[in-house]
Each structure stands twice: as structure tokens, then as C-alpha cells.
Chain A
Amino acid sequence: MRIPTTFRDRSDIAVIGPRKRDDRLSTGTMTASDRGLRFIFGTMPQSAPATLVMTGSGERIVLRFRAAHPAKVLLYLSSADTSRWHVSVDVEDGAEATLSCFILGSTRNASFDRRYAIGEAASLDLSTFLLNGGTTTVADHAVISGALGAFRAETLAVLTADDRLAAVQDVRHLARSTTSSIVNSLVAAGSATIGFDVTGAIGKGNAGSDCKQSNRGVLLGEKAVIEVSPKLLIDEFDVQAGHGCAIGRVNADELYYLTSRGLDETTAKRLVVSGYVAPFVAKIDDPSIRRNVEKMLSTKLGGDI
């Protein structure tokens, strides 16, 4: 798949493909070994996020964030046919990391195994845009092992046609006063199927921790399916925990209201869905990437509402 110019034409970037490795990172380092690619960020100040562009049939990647400087990374993964990606993210004690993951392309079968380790007083803000087609499996496992560690993950998944997505998200609080937040916004059009199995666990003794989950889904196709299974495993009294899940079709009252102003049903549904994804997309800092994602969403949903 062709890499959008928005992602490619950046200065602080590494582009990894099946036949090409172009390391132009200025705020991070890349080293390659038999065990995969290892990146280190947070050692230098950033004025803009560093970008990693990876294409092909998959890689084993380690992203390590150090505490010297807050670091932002855009990770762009695009593959065709079958691919397997292993991403390990280590956020060291006191480090402040932001990782935006864009998963694109049309795959027959893509799997993403992502592991996150959050140290003491460290934080990871993770946003994932699952905009690829085909069959995808995602396994996210986060371990917050240091006190005051925080893991905040937001996912937007938009599936059309007969796309399939099966995701497992698992967060373990292994220290006191840790925070996790998982927010999933899911859109299934056509006969797409989305399944999310979300678990938050606070072990005994980890008082003062806060574990939250929110799952919203909108079904745009008669045959579309979204299934979410939120779970909380709490073994400590002095904690906060909560989960919510709301899945449904486009609200009939909203449709009536919008059509009463002259919008045909298709336009009205598109507007409702754009409103559904807009707050998520609005969080993309870079205007050119934001526009690009909006365009991709519009193209992806164009014929399926």
C-alpha cells in the first residue's frame, strides 16, 4: 500500500519496509538485531512527534521511552496480505510517552500483539486507529508495575464490508495508585464483525488504583455485529473501577431531527457517524494527519452507509 505523503514527508522519521530501511530519526535511535528493531525515545526534546513507518509482513519492534523528556511517536503500520506485528512498549520510571498507532492497509489476515510495561510514575497515552480492511486480530496487554503509573488507551475501529476484528485488551494494575483508562469507539458497517474482550484487573494490595473502561459501538449495516465483553477483576477495596458499554444503531430520533432539516437519510447517517468519530479524530495534533485520517474515514465509509 502506498504510504500517504502526510506520514512520509516528515523529518524525524524511520521508514522500514521489506527491502528498505531508512533511518532519519533525530529525536530517537534505532538499532536492529536478530530479535527485531529497537527504538529509544525520550532522551532528546521534541518539537514534533517522531514517526515510524512500517510496511510489509510484520516486524518485531521494541519502543523504549526514557524519562529525560516527554516523547511522542506516530507509528504507522501498513501491510498487505498476511502480516504479524509484535510491538513491545517499555515506559521507564518517570517517563511520559504518547504513542499514536495508525493501522491501515488491506490485509487478508493481520495480527498485532502489543505489550506495554509502565514503570513508576510513568504514563503512556496510546491512541489506535484501526482503519485497515480484512481480518485483524489485536492482543493488547498492559502491565502497570510502578506506583502512580498510568495507561490511557483510546481505540477507534472502523470496519466495513465483511471486515473482521477480534481484539483482546488486558490491563493489570500491579502497584498502588495506578490508573488505567480504556475507551473504545467502534463502527461496523456492511456485514463487518467486531469483537472486543476487555479486562481490567487490580490485584490485592494495590490500593488507590483507578481502572475504567468505556465501549461505544454503532452498527451501520443490517448484518453488522459488535460484541464487547467488558470485565473488571478487582481484589482490593480501596480502588475505583467502572465499565460501560453502549452499542446500537443510529438513533432514530437523531435521524428524524436531521432529516427534518432536509438531509437525506444517507447524509444524516454520515453526519451522525462523523460526529461519532470526530471527537476522537480531533485529538490528532497534526492538522495534515488529521485531515488525512478524516479523508480515509470518509472514503472507507463512503459506500457503506
Chain B
Amino acid sequence: MSKLTIEKLNVSVEGTMILNDIDLVVRGGETHAIMGPNGTGKSTLASAVMGHPKYTVESGRITLDDLDVTAMAVDERARAGIFLAMQNPVEVPGVTNFDFIKTAVQTRMPADRKLRVGKFILEFEDAAAKLKMGSGLAHRYLNEGFSGGEKKRNEILQMQLLKPKIAFLDEIDSGLDVDALRIVGEAVTAMKSPDLGMVLITHYERLLDYIVPDFVHIMIRGRIVKTGGRELIRKIDAEGYDWLKVELGIDEFEDRRKPASLGTCATHAFGK
């Protein structure tokens, strides 16, 4: 069973602090949900754990089991077992979905072993069929011309085939209609096992109807301000985040200073 430990993590972008003293432990088999208003740093946390070069870790550390990944390159973190299902998956023209995933799987194999392509094709087709992704997916260029829902399902497909130890799912529910949300929710739930710890980042409780979290964290202004169980989801659904004002003595959730740059979710929120 793997364990991701984030200790006193402080992260900045272009000199502006985005994450402040984040502490979080995610173990294999656990599902965590991180919720919070727009622009509070949820996507930044996921990107910082993945090692996005835009984000600077000012202090603190991230460890996966006994491995300190804080200074590791993005690809090293991925091969170590960290996965990020992205909010806005990038289109890569000319690279077929299958070639990409096959190459990614091969990076995790010892140099003296070769991927059994025939077996892998069956595994790919099976996973794609379960996600109702339609035929021909293997030969389509990576995310190019995919609908929003197809892109999100493709992220889950990659997660299934790459078998990470810890996965961040950044707003995997955005762009999904009700049926697609159910399919994705069921696929992710089916992946729950002691070998996989998951962190769901979402604004809305509807995703959490399908993927039931063990822990719910609320993030505001780059801090995890409250951690609890599913009761928090119901409270947020009913009352929003305003009740935390009183409880935590916060006057305004939204920082009046316009941030220099935030995660994609936040930039949308600020209308950039």
C-alpha cells in the first residue's frame, strides 16, 4: 500500500504564493475529495504534486512512500506512480492515442522486457469499451477533435492502463453530461483498491455521488481549512462555503488582490 505525504508545502507562481502550509496524507485505498471556491489553489496543488514547471516549491516536501519527489522531474514522478488526470487535456496532433499510451506503458517497463503488444491492444480495447469511447479510438490523434467528455474519459483510460499508485483527478466531472459522469464515476470506483490512492478535485457534489470519498478537505486561499467526512459535502451542497466564514472568522473568501497566475480553473474564474 502506497502513501503520498505532503508536508508544509508552500508553492508560488511568479513570486506570488498560491499554496500555504499544505499538509495532506493519501494512502492506497483511500479516496480524498478536495473542494473549495474558485481560485483557492486546488488545481495548483495537483499540478505542484505532478511537478508542473510553472510552480515553484518554496518550502515543504512531497514524498511517495520513502521517495522524496519534491525535486524530481515530471516524468520521474509519473514513473514513480503519480498520475494527474488533467482538467484541460492537451491535444497532440499526429500522435495516435494508442502509440502514446503504449509508449507511456513502455517507460514503466524494465529495459530488458518488451511490451506484448497483442495483449496490450486487447487491454486497451477492453478499457475503452467500458468507458464507452467508441471504436477507432486507438487510431485517433491524442485528444485532437475529442469532445470535452471524450477528453475526460481518455484521461481515465490512461489512468487505468498506467496503473498509478496515487492519482489526482482535477475536475474530471467538468464537461461531462449526466450519462458520461455516471460512466466515469463507475469506472473510477471500479479502480478503487488498496493499490491506488485518489484525490478528487471538484466544485460540485454530483461527482461525489458516484465516487464516494473517505475524506473531504475544504481549501480556501491556498490552505486546507477543514477536513471531515461526507457530511461536509452535504453541508456545502446545502449552504455553499459561507458558513465557514463564521466558523473560521474569514471575512471574504476571495482575495481582493488579483493573482498573477493561478491554475486553469482559477484563471477561468477570474475571467482572464
> Chain A residues in contact with chain B, CB under 8 A?
251-254, 256-265, 267-268, 271-272, 274-279
Contacts and interface: CB of A to CB of B under 8 A. Distances in A.
Contact of B95 (A252, A259, A264, A272): A272
B75 A262 contact: yes
B107 interface: yes
B78 A274 contact: no
A294 to B, nearest CB: 12
B53 A256 contact: yes
B94 A264 contact: no
Nearest to A282: B94
Nearest to A277: B94
A265 B53 CA distance: 13
B162 A275 contact: no
8 contacts: A256-B74, A258-B100, A260-B75, A260-B84, A261-B162, A263-B75, A271-B95, A275-B95
Q: Is the interface of B mostly helix, strand, loop or mixed?
A: mixed
A261 B78 contact: yes
Contacts of A272: 92, 95
Given A265-B73, A275-B92, 9 more contacts: A254-B90, A259-B73, A260-B83, A261-B158, A262-B75, A271-B92, A271-B100, A276-B94, A279-B93
B79 interface: yes
Contacts of B101: 261
B103 A257 contact: no
A115 B115 CA distance: 48
A66 to B, nearest CB: 37
B206 to A, nearest CB: 26
B68 interface: no
A257 B90 CA distance: 7
Interface in B144-203: 158, 162
Given A257-B86, A261-B100, A265-B75, A274 B94 contact: yes
